Structure 1
Amino acid sequence: MTRYLMGIDNGGTSTKVAIYDLTGIEVEKCTIYTKVLTPYKYWTERDMEELKRVNFSAIREVLVKSNVDPKDIIGISVTGHGNGLYLIGENGVIVRNGIISTDNRAHDVVEKWLSNEKYETEVRPRTYATIWSSQPASLLRWLDKNEPDIYSKTKYVFMVTDLIRYWLTNEPGFEISNASGTSLFNQDTEDYDERVFTFFGIEKWMNKMPELIASSDKAGEITKEVSEKTGLAQGTPVAGGLMDISASALSTGLTNHNQLSIVTGTWSINQYIDSEISVVKDLFMTTDYPIKGEYLLTEASPTSGSNLTWFVETFLKDHSKLLELTENKDDIYDYCSKLVETIQPWESNLIFYPFIFGSNSGVTNSTAGFIGVTKSTTIAEFINAIYEGVCFAHKAHVKKLLKINENVLNSPIRIAGGITNSEVWLQMFADVFQRPLELVNVKENGALGTSMAAGVMSGAFPDFKTATENMVEISRTIYPNSELAEVYEAKYQLYKKAVTDQTKVWNDIENTQLIKPKKEKVI
């Protein structure tokens, strides 16, 4: 009998379900996209009823397409975007729309907290992280001010990983790698921290936080109702799961110190593991890693490959000339890479800030944009600037990690995610970083990484390190062109200076209120 693992990954815009054998081979997968709701500026939400339907549909479809006997699936595990907020009331009632990790409605709240000197003495030494606007703390504080009736309606505070697992098992819980990334978790005590809740003014919400569970703990079993709706075998064990950054790191085989993992997608994820941590001002996040005694140090922001998706969807998908050249959406991305191939790095100084979904500029109200456009700027230059801007956003994060650990680039970079579908973009990453890239043979990072938690839970592997040794394969290495080191460093410095100089402009845009003129009365 062949044994299988199922990984479920809920990002900000899609649900992915995949089945793997114990060597990491993907047997089948299903992806279903969900609608992002943006009713107001800075808001990104989703309909949770739709989310539930989509997850059950994707599970059902992948089982049908794979022809795998559900009884041969020995474990299931869930991952999803970190942070955001999903609230459940009594008897599983949905309290309000779910809030995605690209939401920025609470940026004013965060600015006040970070400007309070007590943040550095009372919060960071406990959380080892920097609070940001779509974390539960920020969103709960915003809800208290703007939707005060929500508290009394809520029984459980979840992140998306915990929500999906709750729907599968009817058992509440808050997984530790997720909890450790919320700025509500004390890294020293490995528990929620009441003093941190009090600093944020949300101490009453501690009563709504579920019990903490570990990644590879058995957190429940597939219920009869879920079995009937999905085709999964009733009683199949479900693991605690993982935060997406941990799942992605595992999918690249990140098990050694001084090794950098980069994952590209909606988020620019740049990270390494260490057995020792310290308080570092402005470090994005330090979280628990599922390998015992290890922590994951992460620099991240929503500034990666999804910026190209935005450009294609906004400017290219209805372009009649492109539609003549392409038969489907994926061909348009191939066409973009072919256009970039026509541009030499020294031929264009066009700069793009990849801040469509958020930024890493250090300015909470920063937005995306091109600098250096002229009447002769070509579509190829626009797309090339997007490719470079994403590389530079990743590099800015890695520069911060190097200040903590100067050895993090001593070995080849493990890279995975959407940009690995483009040979041109991969080579650009290698040239910008001037480091070899080890390409991981994986299509769905989150699903593969979290399936390892199911493997450890079920006893298929004794630990996560063994799971990666069995399930992660390095397919090839991309080497940098040393002759391009100088030109890309010059372009990176242009990018950094442009971002710095834009600060006043962003503040002016944020604070300028445009008034609609009154309609003159006709006599």
Structure 2
Amino acid sequence: MNYIGIDLGTSAVKLLLMEGSGKILKIVSREYPICFPKPGWSEQNPYDWFTQSMDGLKELLDGTDRSLVAGISFGGQMHGLVALDDKDEVIRPAILWNDGRTTKECDYLNQVIGKERLSAYTANISFTGFTAPKVLWMKNNEPENFAKIHKIMLPKDYLAFRLSGNYSTDVSDASGTLFFDVKNRCWSEEMCEICSIKTSWLPKVYESYEEVGTLLPELAKELGVSDQVKIVAGAGDNAAAAVGTGTVGDGACNISLGTSGTVFISSDKFGVDENNALHSFDHADGSYHLMGCMLSAASCNKWWMDDIIGTKDYGAEQENITKLGENHVFFLPYLMGERSPHNDPNARGTFIGLTMDTTRADMTQAVLEGVAFALRDSFEVARSLGIHIARTRICGGGAKSPLWKKIVANVLNIPVDIPENEQGPSMGGAMLAAVACGEYPTVRDAAETIVKLTDTVEPEPELAAKYEERYQKFRKIYPACRDLFLELAK
């Protein structure tokens, strides 16, 4: 049988058709707009997700045996607030994961309610990107819209709702709402009360590999597939990417170099970083994970190339970078503020160390290195907890760059394994669908069978030592700028 994975990303939806063996048959993509109504705000129209996904499904299935499609599942951008009224209509544009408008609400949750209480209820503290402070922002700033709320959904779950007619979410995505008791894998009644919402507003929670319904008959007819196609809960994009790269089981690690950047560490045991610098979430394989998330990763390079330099030839720009570990320019990659480990929505992108002999290549290199250094910040938190990370896998658009992978391997000073298929969340979604349909008994079995490694980038001792020295300088820059960022934000 065949399985479809839908990666509902920030800039586009990617759809992947996979055989039960793991062979990828076809991939298509559809873009949709993102709106920035005010500095630091980020919104999208959920209807665009559905219409572009349906168009993408039609292209994906064109020329294939549609009778073989057994299941559809998802990996999706996390934390976004989709609010529906009692007629299941979208009340306002979705507020996305990288939206920074909720500073006051986060301060209220972290300072007034208290980080200790939040961590006790949810295993996490409040970040501006999380869903709960967005709901509070609606209550405080759009009371007329807040009064209309009948359901609160996450982006991929809105898509699952439109396909199946059922309200659902999965444990990994729910973990990033701040409404969820991660340890016990259920909604937190205490957090619902704190945020003045009804538990009935929240969808039913499933494990990522569980069926939430079947494809609506009218959509099945439109797509030319069976109305018995299973719609499977899926996972937040990072957990889905981890499944797609085989990052399951205790101590496995994956780095995602997508629009955002993540360090994902799988664990059989529930655990919380006492400073909450890392997120403690449920994993799509039925276990747990710790995750460090930076809001701007590959998007930093896209901004630098597209908007500043004005080129789409990323490879050509990187060809001029030859002196790794010796750059005198540093870059803070905080273009949308930052989450892990600083939790500072006022942080901003910053170049420092520019001189009259600074070149275009130096600044391009600084962008790539700044993202790698920021990823290491999360590694350092994990190491402070006694977690030994011997190696990591990598995925995402940035992982297509051999130079960037080399920089990451040496900044972290560990081997970086390259999966055969770097499709991340869409591959993970298809694998979760296969598990739900009985193709594999568990997510781990699916990962062990399907995921293959093609290469490993080993760190070079001399270069790693140079980057160690550079990183120790990098980590001093944000503390020196923190108070200035706050002043500039006023």
How high is the TM-score relative to the length of structure 2?
A: 0.95
Mean Cα deviation higher: 186-195 or 33-42:
186-195
Mean Cα deviation higher: 384-393 or 493-502:
493-502
* Gap regions ≥5 residues in structure 2: none
Aligned-partner Cα distance in 2 for 1:488–1:63: 47
Q: Helix, strand or coil for the counterpart of 2:143?
A: coil
**Match for residue 343 of structure 1?**
323
Q: Helix, strand or coil for the counterpart of 2:72?
A: strand
**Match for residue 441 of structure 2?**
462
User: Is 1:24 aligned to 2:22, yes or no?
Assistant: yes
Q: 1:398 aligns with which of 379, 384, 399?
A: 379
Aligned-residue Cα RMSD (Å) equals 1.7
**Match for residue 325 of structure 1?**
none
**Match for residue 159 of structure 2?**
164
CA positional deviation for 1:228: 4.1
Letter matched to residue 117 of structure 2: E
CA positional deviation for 1:173: 1.5
Letter matched to residue 90 of structure 1: D
**8 Å Cα contact 1:430/1:480 also seen in 2:** yes
Aligned-partner Cα distance in 1 for 2:252–2:171: 23
Aligned-partner Cα distance in 2 for 1:69–1:90: 38
CA positional deviation for 1:417: 1.6
User: Is 1:196 aligned to 2:175, yes or no?
Assistant: no
**Match for residue 277 of structure 2?**
283
Letter matched to residue 82 of structure 1: M
Give runs of aligned pairs for residues 97-112 of structure 1, distance below 5 A: 97-112=93-108
Letter matched to residue 473 of structure 2: L
Distance 1:33 1:492, change over 3 A: same
Give runs of aligned pairs for residues 412-431 of structure 1, distance below 5 A: 412-431=391-410
Larger radius of gyration: 1
**Match for residue 247 of structure 1?**
240
Q: Helix, strand or coil for the counterpart of 2:387?
A: coil
Aligned-partner Cα distance in 1 for 2:198–2:259: 29
**Match for residue 366 of structure 2?**
385
CA positional deviation for 1:476: 1.0
User: Is 1:507 aligned to 2:486, yes or no?
Assistant: yes
CA positional deviation for 1:217: 1.7
Q: 1:94 aligns with which of 90, 95, 101?
A: 90
Distance 1:291 1:363, change over 3 A: closer
**Match for residue 119 of structure 1?**
114
User: Is 1:493 aligned to 2:487, yes or no?
Assistant: no
Aligned-partner Cα distance in 2 for 1:509–1:120: 26
Runs of at least 4 residues of structure 1 off by over 3 A? 228-233
Q: 1:308 aligns with which of 301, 310, 314?
A: 301
Letter matched to residue 137 of structure 2: W
User: Is 1:78 aligned to 2:74, yes or no?
Assistant: yes
How high is the TM-score relative to the length of structure 1?
A: 0.90
Q: 2:450 aligns with which of 448, 465, 471?
A: 471
CA positional deviation for 1:20: 0.9
**8 Å Cα contact 2:252/2:267 also seen in 1:** no
CA positional deviation for 1:343: 3.2
Q: Helix, strand or coil for the counterpart of 2:356?
A: coil
**Match for residue 515 of structure 1?**
none
User: Is 1:268 aligned to 2:247, yes or no?
Assistant: no
Q: Helix, strand or coil for the counterpart of 1:90?
A: coil
Aligned-partner Cα distance in 2 for 1:316–1:123: 43
**8 Å Cα contact 1:5/1:76 also seen in 2:** yes
Q: 2:463 aligns with which of 484, 487, 495?
A: 484
**8 Å Cα contact 2:214/2:228 also seen in 1:** yes
